[in-house]
Structure 1
Amino acid sequence: MLPTPFEFERASTIADAVSAVGQEGDGMFYSGGTELLLAMKMRVIHTERLVDIKGIPGLDRIVLNDANELEIGSRCTHKKIAGDSVIREHVPALASLCANVANVRVRSVGTIGGNLCFGEPHADPPTMLGALDARLVLQGPNGTRSVHADDFIRSELETVREPDELMMVIVFPRPTGPVTYRRFKHGERPSVNVGMAWSMEAGAHSIKSARVRVGALGSRPQPLKAVEGVLKGLPVHDAHRAIQSVLAEALDELDVNEDRHGSADYKRHLAGVLLLRNAEEAVAMRGRAK
């Protein structure tokens, strides 16, 4: 099936792109198109105009800024992130995640911004970015605003981004402790995924704070507050035992959708297994860093 007819326009600046899309949402931004074009061909999505943003400079850069934060342009492909030296040095778990997103075609042309804006519940990046305490910078006709990764996805296939807002960059603090990510998948999408990031002082043997996110269970990634609480201030070697002590309580609080990926009990079990494997990996990473 072919999409319904639409106009195609190339933008050279962010302002031009925002203007071309229009405040009424007549148009849509286009870069990789790995999900958008399929949806258009299936006629699930229709737009009057596609606005190509591939020619806008600066949207595909990756840097460590002066505030000790990592910046990833929204138009960076998964392949570029996976191979970038800055990402591989400071957050190798994110590089590994991007190296295993979907398939080779998607990794080569699909962008991290497009992945986030589509709002697919069974996706890899949103869970990891929530654990990394990332914020997403959007620009629209009324200026620029920043949205925390935890607040960006509203529900399944729905985000807080307005139709005429362009995601420009993803920003998060340079990790100071282990960052881990595990998933279980059927086909190319995760059935359950878990991201964890520890904040630690240089040379310290205790966890200053922890962020844990579980994704692909409901419409958006969810925090495990009980696990984060028990890890705060804890010696690294006690992490695995401490997580086990609160795991059942934490998993019971998760909002889980039963679907073709499994029952609620099955998914909760997988989330627990993945979390404990994350903890084992984080402890081992900290041991190697001594």
Structure 2
Amino acid sequence: MLPSPFEFERPSTIADAVNAVGESDDGMFYSGGTELLLAMKMRVIHTGRLIDIKGIPGLDRIALNDANDIEIGARCTHKKIASDPVIREHVPALSSLCANVANVRVRSVGTIGGNLCFGEPHADPPTMLAALDARLVLNGPSGTRIVHADDFIRSELETVREPDELLAVIAFSRPTGPVTYRRFKHGERPSVNVAMAWSLGVGERTIKSARVRVGALGSRPQPLKAVEDALQGISVAEVRPAIEAALPTALDELEVNEDRHGGADYKRHLAGVLLLRNAEEAIAAGGSA
């Protein structure tokens, strides 16, 4: 099936792209199109105007800035992120995640920004970016605003981004401890995924803080608060027993949707298994970044 007829425009700046979408009642930004074009062909999504942002400079840039933050342009493909030297050096878990998203075609043309903005619950990047406490920079007609990854996805296929706001950059502090990611999947999408990031002092083996996010269970990534609290301030050697003690309470608090990927008890069990495997990887690395 072909999509309904639409206009196509290629602006050269973010401001022009934002204006172009605002001039149409149903205009949409387009970059990789791996989700959008499929939905348009199925007539699930209708638009009279596509705004192609592939020609806008800077949206595919990856860099470590002067504030020690890693910045990823929203138009970066999964393939580009997977092979980027900055990501490989400072967040190898993100490199590995992007190298295994979906399939070769999706990795080659699909973008990190498009993945986030589509709001698909069974996706890899949102869980990792929430664990990294990433900040999403949105440009709209009223200026720029920053939304934390934890707050970006509102519910299934719905985000806080306004239709005339363009996601430009994803930024997060360079990790000072291990970052790990595990998933269990059916087909090309995760049924359950878990990401964990520790913050350590220089030369220390004590966890200053920890962020743990579980995705694909509900409509958005969820924190395992009881586990995070249990990890704060303990030594790396104490990690596994601390997680095992806190895990039952943490798993019970998760929102879980039963679907073709499994029932609630099954998914909670998988989340616990994946978290312990994350912990084993971080411990094996010596608790260092």
Q: Deviations over 1:116-141 (max 9, x none)?
A: 00000000000000000101000000
Contact kept, 8 Å, 2:180 with 2:281, in 1: the verdict is yes
Residue 46 of structure 2: aligned partner: 46
Residue 285 of structure 1: aligned partner: 285
Matches within 5 A, 1:62-101: 62-101=62-101
Q: CA shift at 1:160, angstroms?
A: 0.2
Residue 172 of structure 1: aligned partner: 172
The alignment status of 1:162 with 2:186, answered yes or no, reads no
Residue 202 of structure 1: aligned partner: 202
Q: CA shift at 1:23, angstroms?
A: 6.2
Provide the secondary structure at the position in 2 that maps to 1:57.
coil
Residue 57 of structure 2: aligned partner: 57
**Partners of 1:24 and 1:197 in 2: how far apart?**
41
Output the amino acid matched with 2:276.
L
Q: CA shift at 1:237, angstroms?
A: 0.9
Residue 37 of structure 2: aligned partner: 37
The alignment status of 1:21 with 2:42, answered yes or no, reads no
**Partners of 2:6 and 2:285 in 1: how far apart?**
51
Residue 141 of structure 1: aligned partner: 141
Contact kept, 8 Å, 1:23 with 1:164, in 2: the verdict is no
Q: Deviations over 1:18-66 (max 9, x none)?
A: 0111166421000000000000000000001000000000000000001
Matches within 5 A, 1:105-254: 105-254=105-254
**Partners of 2:32 and 2:254 in 1: how far apart?**
33
Contact kept, 8 Å, 1:65 with 1:71, in 2: the verdict is yes
Contact kept, 8 Å, 2:177 with 2:200, in 1: the verdict is yes
Unaligned runs of at least 5 residues, structure 1: none
Q: CA shift at 1:158, angstroms?
A: 0.1
**Partners of 1:119 and 1:30 in 2: how far apart?**
15
Q: Deviations over 1:77-123 (max 9, x none)?
A: 00000000000000000000000000000000000000000000000
Residue 8 of structure 1: aligned partner: 8
Contact kept, 8 Å, 1:177 with 1:286, in 2: the verdict is no
**Partners of 1:161 and 1:205 in 2: how far apart?**
39
Output the amino acid matched with 1:43.
R
**Partners of 1:23 and 1:283 in 2: how far apart?**
53
Contact kept, 8 Å, 2:195 with 2:212, in 1: the verdict is yes
Q: CA shift at 1:202, angstroms?
A: 1.1
Contact kept, 8 Å, 1:23 with 1:163, in 2: the verdict is no
**Partners of 1:140 and 1:114 in 2: how far apart?**
16
**Partners of 1:206 and 1:8 in 2: how far apart?**
54
Q: Deviations over 1:201-236 (max 9, x none)?
A: 111011010000000000000000000000000000
Output the amino acid matched with 1:220.
R
Q: What is the aligned-residue identity percentage?
A: 82
Contact kept, 8 Å, 1:31 with 1:53, in 2: the verdict is yes
Provide the secondary structure at the position in 2 that maps to 1:145.
strand
Output the amino acid matched with 2:279.
A
Output the amino acid matched with 1:12.
S
Q: CA shift at 1:191, angstroms?
A: 0.1
Residue 104 of structure 1: aligned partner: 104
Provide the secondary structure at the position in 1 that maps to 2:44.
coil
Q: TM-score, normalised by structure 1?
A: 0.98
**Partners of 2:174 and 2:24 in 1: how far apart?**
38
Structure 1 24/6 Cα, relative in aligned 2: closer, same or farther at 3 Å? closer
Output the amino acid matched with 1:103.
N
Q: TM-score, normalised by structure 2?
A: 0.99
Residue 271 of structure 1: aligned partner: 271
Structure 1 25/84 Cα, relative in aligned 2: closer, same or farther at 3 Å? farther
Unaligned runs of at least 5 residues, structure 2: none
Contact kept, 8 Å, 2:24 with 2:49, in 1: the verdict is no
Output the amino acid matched with 1:143.
G
